[in-house]
Amino acid sequence: MYRAWLTLAALPFISCAAFAGIDQGLLNLVPSGSKALSGVQVDKSKDSPFGQYLLNRMQDGDSGFENFVQSTGFDPRRDVQELLFAATGDPTQMRTAVLARGYFDAAKIKAMALSHGGQIESIQGIDVLRGGEKSHGAIAVLEPTIAVAGDRALVESIVRNRKQPSLLESPELAEKAQTVSSAGQAWFVSLIPGSTLPGKAIMHAHGKQLDGAVIQSILQSHGSIHFGDNGIDLSFEALTRSGKDAQSLADVVRFFVSMVQMQRENHPEAELMANPLDAMQLATNGSTVHVSLSLPESVAEQMLNMPKRPHKRAALK
């Protein structure tokens, strides 16, 4: 649970003084049926101290990663400017694709795919690369500065419709993406309601019980991450069905915070998170819940450097 906060914060290694918002060229390629979007402005990653720290950790990489860079000519540490993730369907049948702005050597990527038994299908002059007949994934370089990878059907759809701007079935998704992406360098927007989650899970943790129905009350959500000179700022907001549901969701957040605080003397991760969680801002406004948290850079680095240890997961029924 403690590492979940850091996992969310460490998705990008990013920071800058001003935010440019979402790349319109990538947004125009998003599948029309998308229900959730998330993005990372990678090209603005290298200005923050923590961004440099994460970049240096990547450079300690393994031989497999280095071989990939050599064979494709593609180094994500250098060649990616922005990533845009799109998801269609509900959680039980979700399909995803990632659109990337950067620098891509189509010939080298094609050669690597073929050398590993990949197959190629040409769609409107674009090579769509996939692993094999049973493969559900694919990748395509649409132009030297744009590539797409993910679910094969989505990739093929993006290739076929690349010459005309996407018209999302939910215009609100694009509007919220524009707003949220302008507030932080990493962000997400989801119009997928919690009611689509399977079942009403009951979570048991430290002898206490939480009804998963409170998560099913969420209608939509969004959040952003900002890596600054002094640390990481996280913001999350959820719209629920009612004011009562919002209060219940806020209570769930308070419960998990209290679980961390109770363990502060026994677990180093909890001790590190204790002060940031003490200062966490949690508020409800009608049917909306807002959470904001600031994580000092030193805390983030210490948590990344902690050795992994086995832990018991909360049981789900």
pLDDT in tens, 258-277: 988 888 888 888 888 989 99
* Angle of the 2-9 helix axis to the 268-278 helix axis, nearest 10: 70
pLDDT for 317 equals 40
User: What secondary structure letter does DSSP report for 264?
Assistant: T
Give me the residue label for tokens 């948290």: 293
Q: How many Å apart are CA 286 and CA 280, to the nearest integer?
A: 20
Whether the per-residue pLDDT at 239 is higher than 90: the answer is: yes
Q: Do the Cβ atoms of 189 and 156 come closer than 8 Å?
A: no
Q: Do 275 and 164 contact (CB within 8 A), yes or no?
A: no
pLDDT digits (tens, 9 = 90+) for 81-108: 899 999 998 777 889 999 999 999 888 8
What was the pLDDT predicted at 309? Answer: 59
Any residues with CB less than 8 A from the CB of 28 and at least 6 apart, and which? 165, 166
Structure tokens at 7: 């996992």
pLDDT value for 245: 95
Q: Considering only 6-10, 99-103, 308-312, which range has the smallest mean pLDDT?
A: 6-10
Mean predicted confidence (pLDDT) in 174-182: 90
C-alpha to C-alpha distance for 42 and 58, rounded to whole angstroms: 14
Cα-Cα-Cα-Cα dihedral sign, residues 21, 24, 25, 26: positive
Element (H, E) at 220: strand 218-227
CB atoms within 10 A of CB 307: 5
Average pLDDT over residues 184-207: 70
Q: For residue 196, is pLDDT > 60?
A: yes
Q: What is the pLDDT of residue 292?
A: 96
**pLDDT surpasses 80 at 310:** no
Closest CA to 138 of 114, 112, 168, 118: 118
Cα separation of 182 and 110, whole Å? 35
Q: Report the alpha-carbon distance of residue 305 to residue 165 in Å, rounded.
A: 44
Q: Do residues 27 and 84 touch, judged by C-beta distance below 8 A? A: yes
d(CA 149, CA 128) in angstroms, rounded, equals 9
